[in-house]
Amino acid sequence: MTEESNTLWHGRFDGGPAAALEKYTYSIGYDERLAADDIAGSRVHVRGLGRVGLLTDPEVDQILAALDTVEAEFASGSFVLLPADEDIHTAVERRCTELAPAAAKMHTGRSRNDQIGTDIRLWLKRELGTIAAQLVDMQQVLFDRAVTAGDAYLPGYTHFQRAQPVPLAHHLLAHAWTFGRDITRILAARDASDVSVLGAGALAGSSLPLDPDTNATELGFSRRFENSLDAVSDRDFIADAVYALTMIGIHLSRIGEEWVLWSSGEMGFVVLDDGYATGSSMMPQKKNPDIAELARGKAGRIIGNLTGLLATLKSLPLTYNRDLQEDKEPLFDSLDQISAGLEAIGGMIATATFNTGAMADAADDPLAGATDLAEYLVRSGVAFRDAHAVVGTLVREALSTGLSLIDLTRDHDQLGPEAAALLQPGRAVHNRITPGGAGLVPLQDQLARFEAHLAANRATVESL
């Protein structure tokens, strides 16, 4: 048992909390990272109490000075947690009261319910801005590599079977555009968190003349809560954030899977930089793509964080329930993992060496030009279904006889040398002309459009 006088509710209780309760319910182990935001919220609240005369000017000054000290202690790592510090709010208030007795008044008109909402919204707004900036950096890496990829091409796949050759730049930009949608989702989640809930109290507001609008302005939120019950029970913004982070995790896992394959001896499309690969403890020849594998693997727990959070929120009655404390660990874990993943995968992509020869060799199978051949026939007036059948028959002949599709095409009366030329190595990516398509001509336009998209994203992120 801890000293009963240490709890925030000791007046109402006969004894102190059981050790088992402390162990099971205390959140200080992970909400300590909200310290700076908790202190920021407390400063605004204390000034608000001063404005309406609930604290004298000297009391306000004393408490603000104590908050400065506590902030410095957290920043330098010298803050000493006590066993009774249940959560970050308790710890900050306890220490402030030691430093300035007037701090016994700082919780006036406030509850930990509106306090935790304030803390996590402040924290999340900032952290999601950082994730958005990391996504822009990732887009930059992919764009830079796309620009330097030039005319390089590789097989495009469907069903993981070689389908049609595509420019390497087009492939890299596919991932880059994907991260653009992640930026949209992250910014939407950031906007959902941009609501001040300070002043909602435990659930009902206060009989004291507090001013949530000024709180919102001073905390840099764009708006305040409209309904106190909703304010203290809303965790939608956390679900939005965890979902947006999950989608990034899924996208990183897709790149991870791709790069595991690309770096394999079988495909050999990419050689990882030594700084972004690992060796084997036993097999001296090994060079392993651990970052790519972990991007694949960590998506599992990130999806788990989202489903766990949603399950926690399900069926909760209004308003605050202690269940809501379970929102933080999945959020923190997803954010930490995604931030580290973006950095690691971005570095892996930026430093790798593409083996464009191996890519071209894999793409240069004349069979991969079969669609272009069918479209050649379409241009001369053949119905596409018939063209498909003509080329399909030629492909079957090539496979069963071992003759080359190029030779068979050249000798075919409906096709001929002009059609056969379409199957020459490297030709396919010149054939495609449709906007947004995998051809070197539309690629130039796509690169320009992406550059504008990237510049707009960068400006948005810098304005946050």
Enumerate binding residues for ligand ARG (CB under 6 A): 27, 31, 87, 112-113, 116, 320, 322, 324-325
Q: With respect to ligand ARG, which residue has the nearer C-beta, 318 or 455?
A: 318
As measured in angstroms, the least distance from the Cβ of 320 to ligand ARG is 6
CA 190 to chain centre: 12
Helices 112-149 and 35-51: crossing angle in degrees, nearest 10, is 130
Q: What residue has token string 């240490």?
A: 6
- Burial of 8-47, coded b for 16+ CB within 10 Å and e otherwise, reads eeeeeeeebbeeeebeeebbbebbbbbbbbbbbbbbbbbb
HSE-up (13 A, CA, CB side) for residue 458 = 10
CB of 312 vs ligand ARG, minimal distance in Å:
11
DSSP summary character for residue 110: -
The amino acid present at 177, given as its one-letter code, is W
Calpha distance 96→67 (Å, rounded) = 6
Q: Which of 222, 264, 280, 380 is catalytic?
A: 280
With respect to ligand ARG, which residue has the nearer C-beta, 116 or 219?
Answer: 116
| Closer Cβ to ligand ARG, 24 or 160, answer by number | 24
Min CB(324)–ligand ARG separation in Å: 5
Q: How far apart are the first and last CA of the chain?
A: 47
- Residue 328 CB, shortest distance to ligand ARG, in Å, is 6
- Please report the sign of the dihedral spanned by the C-alpha atoms of residue 310, residue 314, residue 320, residue 322: negative
| CB 326 to ligand ARG: min, Å | 8
For residue 278, the 8-state DSSP code is B
What value does the CA radius of gyration of the chain take, rounded to a whole number of Å?
30
Does the active-site annotation cover 159? Answer: yes
Taking the complex as a whole, how short is the minimal distance between the CB of residue 47 and ligand ARG, in angstroms? 22
Contact 168, 359 (CB under 8 A): yes
% helix, strand, coil for the chain, step of 5 = 70, 5, 25
Bridging pattern class, strands 223-224 and 195-196: parallel
DSSP bridge partners of 288: 278
- Judge contact between 442 and 433, C-beta under 8 A: yes
Give 12 or 379: the residue with its C-beta nearer to ligand ARG. Answer: 12
Find the shortest distance in angstroms from Cβ 124 to ligand ARG: 14
147: which 2 tokens?
A: 């620009």
Closer to ligand ARG by Cβ: residue 202 or 378: 202
Which 3 state secondary structure label does DSSP give 153? strand
Please report which helix (H) or strand (E) contains residue 225, including its range.
Answer: none
Nearest of 242, 239, 247 to residue 299 by alpha carbon = 247
**Minimum distance from CB of 8 to ligand ARG (Å)?**
9
CB 405 within 8 A of CB 366: yes
Output 29 or 402, the one with its CB closest to ligand ARG.
Answer: 29
- Please state, in angstroms and rounded to a whole number, the distance separating the CA atoms of residues 288 and 274: 10
Q: Are strands 161-167 and 153-158 parallel, antiparallel or unpaired?
A: antiparallel
Residue among 5, 76, 78, 159 flagged as catalytic: 159
Q: Which of 119, 112, 67, 167 is nearest to 443 (CA)?
A: 167
Q: How far is the CB of 322 from ligand ARG (least distance, A)?
A: 6
Question: Which residues lie below 8 Å from residue 227, measured CB to CB, with a gap of 6+?
Answer: none
Catalytic site positions:
159, 280
